Amino acid sequence: MKIQLVLFLFFLFLMIPIGNTPALSMEIAKQNQVKDIAFEEKISPNVNHQWKKTSSEFEMIHADTHEYTVWHNFIKKTRKCDITHRMKTDVWYCDLHKHTRSEVSLEETIHSNRHS
């Protein structure tokens, strides 16, 4: 009984950081964007950069759950569908000024169930 409780708490502990990761990294990406814009303004408004794409990361973020109705054998049924956003984070590095820039974009909206 005690071992089961310890295991349960252990898995709970494991779940917490995984659940927070997408939102957290999105927040960091947003902060970087704001920071880099401020940094660029300090250099010069019309400066040329040597942006090189260093990485592209994809994240799946659960956006929403909605309900839809289907008819099955003349019975109206309500089903739940999860909406997931596939987010892309591009990171660019400028060798000229040694700074980075990141861009977050929505690549795809995925519904867990096919429905009209």
How many residues in the shown chain lie near Zn ion by CB under 5 A? Answer: 6
| Residues pairing with 23 in the sheet | none
Q: Smallest gap, in angstroms, from Cβ of residue 78 to Zn ion?
A: 12
Residues 17-76 touching Zn ion, rule: CB under 5 A, are: 49
The smaller minimum CB distance to Zn ion, of residues 77 and 111, is found at: 111
Query: Is 85 an interacting residue with respect to Zn ion (CB under 5 A)?
Result: no
Q: Is 40 exposed, middle or buried (0-12, 13-18, 19+ CB in 10 A)?
A: middle
The pair of structure tokens assigned to 103 is 């861009």
| Residues pairing with 57 in the sheet | 89
The smaller minimum CB distance to Zn ion, of residues 4 and 69, is found at: 69
Candidates 87, 94, 101, 102; binder of Zn ion (CB under 5 A) is 94
Are the CB atoms for 66 and 81 separated by under 8 Å?
Answer: yes
